Amino acid sequence: SLQIRVRSTSSLRSLDRTIVGDVPFKDRHIGPNDADMKEMMGTLGYENLDAFLREVIPDRVRSNRSLNIDPPDGQTEAEVLDSLRKIADRNDSSKKSLIGLGFHNSITPSVILRNVLESPEWYTSYTPYQPEISQGRLESLFNFQTLITELTGMDFANASMLDESSAAAEAMSLAFSVSSKSGAKSKKVYLVDKRVHKHTIDGLQGRARGLGIDIVLVDALAADLDGAEINEVIGFMYQYPDTEGCLRSYTEVCAAVKAKGGIVCVAADPLALTLFEPPSKHGADVVFGSAQRLGLPMGFGGPHAAFLATIDKHKRRLPGRLVGVSKDRLGNSAYRLALQTREQHIRREKATSNICTAQALPANVNAMYAIYHGPAGLKKIASRILLLTTVLKLGIEAVGSGRIVPSAHGAEYFDTLVIEMDDAEQLITAAENECGFNLRRVGAHAVGISLDETIGLTDIAELLKLFAGFSNYSKLISDSFIEELVNKALVSGRPNFLKRSDEFLSQDVFNKYRTETEILRYMNHLKSKDVSLASSMIPLGSCTMKLNATTEMMPFTWKGFNALHPFVPPRQATGYTELIQSLEKDLANITGFDAVSLQPNSGAQGEFTALRMIKNYLKSISEGDRDICLIPISAHGTNPASATMAGFKVVTIKCDTRTGYLDLGDLKSKLELYGSRVGVFMVTYPSTYGIFERSIVDAIDMIHEAGGQVYLDGANMNAQIGLCSPGELGADVCHLNLHKTFCIPHGGGGPGVGPICVRSHLSRFLPTHTYAPFADKDAISPVTSAAWGSASILPISWTYIKLMGSSGLKKASIAALVNANYMARRLSPHYNIAFRNENGLCAHEFIIDVRPLKATADIEAIDIAKRLMDFGFHAPTMSWPVPGTLMLEPTESESKTELDRYCDALIAIRGEIAKIETGISPRAGNVLKMAPHSQLDLLAEQWDRPYTREEAAFPLPYLRERKAWPTVTRIDDKYGDQNLFCSCPKF
């Protein structure tokens, strides 16, 4: 027979590459083509790219190695999709996981899948800091908040947390901050019921250590809190239903804790809350949990939105983002992010939380899921699950195979049963191998089963057959047997205990979009209000709003990646293992480090994780007294916040106000001052001012000489790949934002992944996880609910790297530098470019300093930002890192045409400002002060402005063809903060 099935050899593959065909992906990803690049070099006055690069990046910083990505020239989109399918196929998505523990099978309605999760208009938008062009997603997040307050019975909920684990930690922090604000600094004990999920308790440990809290596990059922130690208690946490499936109220324990000023925090299942009394009835001050089962796939752990809600009294302590209602210039109501002044970029080391990127996109899916089902629909789904659980319980009792936990204690149950039986191990094995079910191993002699909205009677029948096989039950598990059980369950009904009786979700929005047509139009209408990368460039400095290519995004919604429970046996997830290892390898290569953890699900989470590791490392080398973290004043607010949370004291290092460079003198004097207390130096490179600082290597050397570790904030990695690297600079650790540099879209404020890359001496401290196949004895406790945080978006970054290859990645970095410098050059006759290096160049971003315009024209950064909306553009980063300025990062993905269009807009605005300066336009009520202009505003009957309607709407010709409208006029921030509405009032 023929011997012909030999697939591609690598030599044929590279020969094949020499035969040009389709445009390579890198040229789809990178905006300027070679001719554009040449033209831009001309504008900048350089012979060629090399000459330019030599003047952007200091020699001592520039890398002299090549990246080592396989294949070096990148795969084609077709090839990479093929590889991904094979990887996805190696994950066993055919098994039905009934493991529970916060992760459940769930049905994402197709219409929401396609029109939100797979829609670039939703997933490529940024956090809605510019509310006038973000009313769509703000409304949706507001719906999420309303959903959560209604389900939990709390007064305020934020716009999502990273996951249940970090929400638990934030709840504890809130309790801590309440008690320390009340002067009780000595209180340090946090009681946690032992029936909280183990991985949630694990996730609390790192945060507790950082804050100096003692976590005390208690059996809340038996707890006798009359003793003296109750005075030490900052709070008490329990779960509802708990890890054994029981719902209990613990009213007495709660009352005792509260009587002494403690805070009650409850981890709750949002679907259970549709049928069971909300914890607000039992004294809860904080309710948190994961909203995953409201319409999101498990995704091997994430991304999912968690929620955190609290009572009115603590509303200003809610971490993260909060959408509120305010009004615009015309008095129309409008959404915006409320209480922004609480954020860590303002409060820095005084912040109590470091959460920045959250889970906006998943939260929007949750909100739409709830809107589509409505209160009655959600109740029906939950009731069905409860009924099936009852049927299963009656069945197991009938076949007599084990002792069931919820009934034993007289507690209520919802979807989870724990069955104690000798043969638990064997049953779990049989379930996996013979029935295709993953059940939960609860110790050696119990099995857990959690049902969900995908389960039917057929599954129940199979489960009962399985149990019957492990008991003495000899009769047939027939259809009529099942029918009897169903009738019995129906007849017995539900006890009144803990039964929810109040109405919830009666608001209009949850009761009118019941058909696919209606919800499609609602989602479509919301997205039409927003500016995203699908409409125009978003040059947010430090945010790297680059292309999120469709090929990168596709695997995220494939079953092979999104159907897996995070705690399946590793043999069922070999595709993920392969992808994760490959991504870790490439990221280590790119950063010049030795080991990587993909666990942290945001940049800030990465910071916290790495700092905890450094803490433990220092302790391990008997340098545990090094408790100081040096941070330049220009750092992102999450740096000092993370450092504080990790147990460091923050000392600020100055920067030169003229050059933006790190003040090495100040660094030196702080090192002298704090000497052996210096634990770590956290620095962003290229600096947040957008400069490749020459002195970085000196600074790093100084820290190392002083015995400290160097942490490099990798937010600006997009300027570096293939050109230099944190590892080569000499740093010990860095975090990356895959949702910046590596193409995970921002999703309107998350999800993200913030991996940490470390030098070998730190690798044994990389975080572990209860359900992960790795666990170094020195590993720090986990920071996320799942071992690999937001696993199902890792294929995005993997795909990007494989598509670009070494050469493409490097080319992208260069284009990012060229694009930024080209824009700076075009704008420099019109605006003051704040910081440049000695050759007059910036890195991949730059700051325009508009502060002088305050005096000459009464114009501030915000006026320019709002006027840009009239040009169809999103503003640059406002007032960070320097207050009153604008920072632009075009990224490599923007074409020269688009850069020019943005420059033209800014130049036209400068012209409008000049008219104010010369007195042609008034200082008040001019087109900038009145910006942005909505349709309602411009079509008003009366018109007595010093400019025409057309000047307001179409200041440049391209707008006549392509205009994106702000849907409201300028929003009143103060009014909104003073009158805080963060959820829909009852209908």
Ligand X SMILES: Cc1ncc(COP(=O)(O)O)c(C=O)c1O
Contact positions vs ligand O=C([O-])O (CB under 6 A) = 205-206, 209, 612, 616, 780-781
The reply on whether position 900 binds a second copy by CB under 8 A is no
550 binds, among a second copy, ligand X, ligand O=C([O-])O, none (CB under 5 to 8 A by kind): a second copy
Burial (CB < 10 A; 0-12, 13-18, 19+), residue 332, is middle
Tokens 């554009």, residue? Answer: 36
Q: How far is the CB of 381 from a second copy (least distance, A)?
A: 6
The reply on whether position 938 binds a second copy by CB under 8 A is yes
Residue 708 Rama label (left phi>0; alpha psi -120 to 50; beta):
beta
The reply on whether position 430 binds a second copy by CB under 8 A is yes
Q: How far is the CB of 799 from a second copy (least distance, A)?
A: 10
| Site of interaction with ligand X (CB under 6 A) | 356-357, 542-543, 602-604, 636, 638, 684, 713, 715, 737, 752, 754
The reply on whether position 462 binds a second copy by CB under 8 A is yes
312 binds, among ligand X, a second copy, ligand O=C([O-])O, none (CB under 5 to 8 A by kind): none
Helix axis angle for 135-152 and 516-528, nearest 10°, is 130
Please confirm whether the linkage preceding 128 is cis (ω < 30° from 0). no
Cβ pair 24, 74 in contact under 8 A:
yes
Residue 730 Rama label (left phi>0; alpha psi -120 to 50; beta):
left
**Nearest to ligand O=C([O-])O of 140, 781 (CB atom):** 781
Contacts of 790 (CB under 8 A, 6+ apart): 299, 301, 302, 303, 601, 751, 752, 753, 784
462 binds, among a second copy, ligand X, ligand O=C([O-])O, none (CB under 5 to 8 A by kind): a second copy
Cβ pair 427, 447 in contact under 8 A:
yes
854 binds, among ligand O=C([O-])O, a second copy, ligand X, none (CB under 5 to 8 A by kind): none
Query: Which residue, judged by CB position, is nearest to ligand X in the bound state?
Result: 603
The reply on whether position 456 binds a second copy by CB under 8 A is yes
- Out of 92, 121, 732, 973, the residue judged to bind a second copy by CB under 8 A: 121
Cα distance between residue 924 and residue 947, in whole Å = 12
The reply on whether position 29 binds a second copy by CB under 8 A is yes
Cα distance between residue 861 and residue 876, in whole Å = 10
Cα distance between residue 775 and residue 853, in whole Å = 57
Cβ pair 294, 264 in contact under 8 A:
no
Q: How far is the CB of 252 from a second copy (least distance, A)?
A: 36
- Out of 184, 215, 457, 914, the residue judged to bind a second copy by CB under 8 A: 457
Q: How far is the CB of 647 from ligand O=C([O-])O (least distance, A)?
A: 9
**Nearest to ligand X of 871, 880 (CB atom):** 880
Half-sphere exposure of 861 (CA within 13 A, CB side): 20
Sheet with 595-597: strands ordered across: 595-597, 756-758, 733-735, 709-713, 678-684, 628-632, 649-653
252 binds, among ligand O=C([O-])O, ligand X, a second copy, none (CB under 5 to 8 A by kind): none
Cα distance between residue 44 and residue 56, in whole Å = 12
- The residue ranges of DSSP E strands in 802-878, in sequence order, are 832-833, 846-849, 877-878
The reply on whether position 956 binds a second copy by CB under 8 A is no
**Nearest to a second copy of 790, 967 (CB atom):** 967
684 binds, among ligand O=C([O-])O, a second copy, ligand X, none (CB under 5 to 8 A by kind): ligand X
115 binds, among ligand X, a second copy, ligand O=C([O-])O, none (CB under 5 to 8 A by kind): a second copy
Q: How far is the CB of 589 from a second copy (least distance, A)?
A: 25
Q: How far is the CB of 575 from a second copy (least distance, A)?
A: 18
The reply on whether position 7 binds a second copy by CB under 8 A is yes
377 binds, among ligand O=C([O-])O, a second copy, ligand X, none (CB under 5 to 8 A by kind): a second copy
Tokens 């805070």, residue? Answer: 263
Q: How far is the CB of 846 from ligand X (least distance, A)?
A: 15
**Nearest to a second copy of 544, 837 (CB atom):** 544
The reply on whether position 515 binds a second copy by CB under 8 A is yes
Q: How far is the CB of 361 from ligand X (least distance, A)?
A: 14
Cα distance between residue 119 and residue 721, in whole Å = 29
Helix (H) or strand (E) holding 336: strand 333-337
The angle formed by the CA atoms of residues 330, 335 and 337, to the nearest 5 degrees, is 125
Amino acid at 724: C
Helix (H) or strand (E) holding 854: helix 852-857
The reply on whether position 59 binds a second copy by CB under 8 A is no
- Out of 458, 492, 620, 676, the residue judged to bind a second copy by CB under 8 A: 458
Cα distance between residue 751 and residue 729, in whole Å = 29
Cβ pair 483, 391 in contact under 8 A:
no
Helix (H) or strand (E) holding 574: helix 574-591
Helix (H) or strand (E) holding 54: helix 49-56
Burial (CB < 10 A; 0-12, 13-18, 19+), residue 341, is exposed
Amino acid at 145: Q
Site for a second copy in 371-390 (CB under 8 A): 373, 377, 380-381, 383-384, 387-388
602 binds, among a second copy, ligand O=C([O-])O, ligand X, none (CB under 5 to 8 A by kind): ligand X
Query: Which residue, judged by CB position, is nearest to ligand O=C([O-])O in the bound state?
Result: 206
The reply on whether position 34 binds a second copy by CB under 8 A is no
**Nearest to a second copy of 261, 377 (CB atom):** 377
269 binds, among ligand O=C([O-])O, a second copy, ligand X, none (CB under 5 to 8 A by kind): none
The reply on whether position 408 binds a second copy by CB under 8 A is no
Site for a second copy in 532-591 (CB under 8 A): 533-536, 547, 549-551, 553-554
209 binds, among a second copy, ligand X, ligand O=C([O-])O, none (CB under 5 to 8 A by kind): ligand O=C([O-])O
Tokens 């570790």, residue? Answer: 709
Ordered DSSP codes for 472-532: S--S---HHHHHHHHHHHHHH---STTB--S----SGGGSS--SHHHHHHHHHHHHHT---
